[in-house]
Structure 1
Amino acid sequence: MDFRSFCMLETESLRTALAHLNQAAKKVLFLTDAAGHLTAALTDGDVRRHLLSGGTLEDSAANAGNHRPITATGREEAIRLLAQHGCIAVPVLDGAGRIMDIVLEDERQAEPHAALGLPVVIMAGGKGTRLEPYTKILPKPLIPVGDLPIMEHIMRQFRQYGCTEFHGIVNYKKQLIKAYFSENEEHFDTIWYDEDKPLGTGGGLSLLKGKLSETFFLTNCDLLIFTDYEKLLRFHRENGSAVTMVCAEKHVTIPYGVVETGENGVITAMREKPAFQFLTNTGLYLVEPEVLEDIGEDEVIGFPDIIERQRRKGRRVSAYTVGEEDWLDMGQLDELEKMRERLYGKP
């Protein structure tokens, strides 16, 4: 399918647009400017509403279009949005807003995921201070992203891979978290572990000693990773790793000219708006159960320090890389809306 057959310049007339819509298998057009940037979506219903409000067929298509269509940044996201919203089609945009592809409703039945069946441990005890003032009222796992709290989004995603056994480590406002899931219609199979005091991003795992006997997923409660979890598990096992950390590529451009100096303020180098590329820890891991035995009771420790402890013992630790666009993190307020748009599309 050539997606360009669903595209038309926004300056074309509604008469021309109607002719295209009558010929198209799917009754939708995506309007673009001369550079290919998406500006609106147009259906025959949009045209009828425009005409009923006093418009004419000689008006430009842009006058009748929906200027806030649902869009995606990748095919998997587009397929998910098709299922969520019952759309005819979802355009896939590049970083500049140009149409790269269009996914049609016929494609929304994605291939079923492999049933991995691994336990999932969710670190849900933090105060979420970066999300204040919301977390003054709700614990971070219950902060809503669209229609559902972030923790439920995480659990639903794992359940697509047959992972139905959940272990939640809780502390801050833990009774609210437990109450929400105890009355949840989805009936998630969850075992709760109470931290009596904050133990960091890793110390709470000591509560699971003797409770897990197989490889398990470990995730923070504020992120979603869109990747093939079967490939991730295969990578982990083929490498014989004690821990596999999922890392995302990050590209950062410093918006200033950067100056390096030597003695007495002598300029030694200048770089205009330098760009850097690096890997960052997303907060999702695959972990072998023996790692739990190396965590002391009531030990306050971050999980990256636990990984370093494994590395010093000579155990293999690995990094599995995903694209920057495959990592959604709602750890800060400005990221919360980005996550909602990625899951549900722009309003």
Structure 2
Amino acid sequence: MLHIEELYIQPDATVLEAMKKLDETGQRILFVAPEGRLEAVLTDGDVRKYILRGGELEGPVSGAANYRPVSLPVAERGSAKAVLEEKGIDALPLLDKKGHILDIVFASGFDIDNRKPAGLPVVIMAGGLGTRLYPYTKILPKPLIPVGELPIIEHIIHRFRDFGCRKFYLVVNYKKNMIKSYFNDLEKDYEVEYIDEEEPLGTGGGLCLLKGKLDEPFFLSNCDILIDADFGDIYRRHKESESIITMVCAFKHFTVPYGVVDLGENGEIRAMREKPEMNFLTNTGVYVVEPRVIRELEDGKKQGFTDIIERYRAAGDRVGVYPIREQSWMDMGQMEELDAMRRKLENQ
């Protein structure tokens, strides 16, 4: 169990430090509370908005935090549930008369679901060979490889289903009859439609097979990743930004385990950096896509979805980004990543 102090962050801490602390605590909120007195709150949503405004990861959390936080006097604890529901927030600090945090009431303790419904159709690209997971995929198609008690594709579907998505299109090719048999025998509260890909068309080309089936925005997902995100909020952001495609991206923080040498002219050393740190956004393989993309695809052309994105960017269409934390993204594309995903799901 966390102590309150573990959720405190200093106002001069960096946004990057705050992101790491959000991951470490497993909560979606931190409190700027010097000497225990509440000044501001910082949620993962605040961090996301800060980044999208162009904020630097090395900037202070004071530039991202909300300095008008919702709180209650500790004597009004009985009103906490109503306030959490009314404000749609995850946590509510309870204060003494001097503004010190005495307790925090979390929405999860009241079984309140603050997530926003999405309800969009979902297209899952489930036809690949899964060569990076050989020899598993010699026997099973990648979508049916078990992660815990369920195959990976069911984990993916359940994440979307929790946000009201009930229609799923599976683009299938390799060992497609095994995938169809699995879902046909499964008791489920959602609908699955199979899109047969006779020839491999890539993660983008296979979408042309959905022409005439989708006339509304949809989620697109690879079949080897899981993200822990608010799909309703992703869609809201997509519509507000008027993007043709929104890419869900995860922040990665990577420390090079070696000293790095930069060369100048004539082979002399220009600079030396000992174990430099890198911060970057990486594509998770989950998108919100406008139906126009399907209508404009060339039939039968093999292409990746990133090729489609680049074409729209070059034409001046807006492609948005929805950033999530590194710990909110799990990838099973390689053996070691598959094992890591299994361990993480077992601990949830």
- TM-score above 0.5: yes
Q: CA deviation at 1:287?
A: 0.3
The corresponding residue for 2:173 is: 171
Q: CA deviation at 1:240?
A: 0.3
The corresponding residue for 2:199 is: 197
The corresponding residue for 2:339 is: 337
Find 1:74's aligned residue among 26, 41, 44.
26
Q: CA deviation at 1:235?
A: 0.6
Contact kept? 1:114, 1:162, Cα under 8 Å: no
* Partners of 2:202 and 2:120 in 1: CA distance: 24
Find 2:308's aligned residue among 306, 320, 327.
306
Deviates more, 1:260-269 or 1:214-223: 260-269
Q: CA deviation at 1:110?
A: 4.4
The superposition leaves residues 112-163 of structure 1 with CA deviations (integer Å, 9 ceiling, x where unpaired) of 6433211000000111111111111111100111000010011111111110
The superposition leaves residues 37-87 of structure 1 with CA deviations (integer Å, 9 ceiling, x where unpaired) of xxxxxxxxxxxxxxxxxxxxxxxxxxxxxxxxxxx86248xxxxxxxxxxx
Q: Extract unaligned runs of 5+ from structure 1.
A: 6-71, 77-101
Q: 1:183 to 1:103 in 2, by over 3 A?
A: farther
Question: Which protein is bigger by CA-based radius of gyration?
Answer: 1
Using structure 2 for the length normalisation, give the TM-score: 0.69
* Partners of 1:238 and 1:106 in 2: CA distance: 28
* Partners of 1:130 and 1:73 in 2: CA distance: 33
Contact kept? 1:181, 1:187, Cα under 8 Å: no
Secondary structure in 2 matching 1:252: strand
Letter in 2 for 1:115: P
Using structure 1 for the length normalisation, give the TM-score: 0.69
Deviates more, 1:187-196 or 1:267-276: 187-196
Find 1:281's aligned residue among 280, 283, 288.
283
The corresponding residue for 1:261 is: 263
Q: CA deviation at 1:329?
A: 0.8
Q: 1:103 to 1:288 in 2, by over 3 A?
A: same
Contact kept? 2:255, 2:276, Cα under 8 Å: yes
Contact kept? 2:117, 2:231, Cα under 8 Å: no
* Partners of 2:27 and 2:4 in 1: CA distance: 16
Letter in 1 for 2:345: L
Matches within 5 A, 1:12-161: 74-75=26-27, 107=109, 109-111=111-113, 113-161=115-163
* Partners of 1:235 and 1:114 in 2: CA distance: 12
* Partners of 1:164 and 1:311 in 2: CA distance: 31
The corresponding residue for 2:3 is: 3
Letter in 1 for 2:162: Q
Deviates more, 1:229-238 or 1:260-269: 260-269
Question: Aligned-pair RMSD on alpha carbons?
Answer: 2.6
The superposition leaves residues 165-222 of structure 1 with CA deviations (integer Å, 9 ceiling, x where unpaired) of 0000011111111110110122541110111111111100000011101110000001
Find 1:231's aligned residue among 222, 227, 233.
233
Secondary structure in 2 matching 1:296: coil
Q: 1:140 to 1:290 in 2, by over 3 A?
A: same
The corresponding residue for 1:222 is: 224
* Partners of 1:301 and 1:2 in 2: CA distance: 48
Deviates more, 1:254-263 or 1:201-210: 254-263
Q: Extract unaligned runs of 5+ from structure 2.
A: 6-23, 29-103
Q: CA deviation at 1:105?
A: 12
Contact kept? 2:172, 2:194, Cα under 8 Å: yes
Q: 1:272 to 1:325 in 2, by over 3 A?
A: same
Q: 1:176 to 1:201 in 2, by over 3 A?
A: same
Contact kept? 2:116, 2:233, Cα under 8 Å: no
Secondary structure in 1 matching 2:262: strand
Contact kept? 1:291, 1:310, Cα under 8 Å: no
Q: 1:273 to 1:187 in 2, by over 3 A?
A: same
Percent of paired sites with the same residue: 56
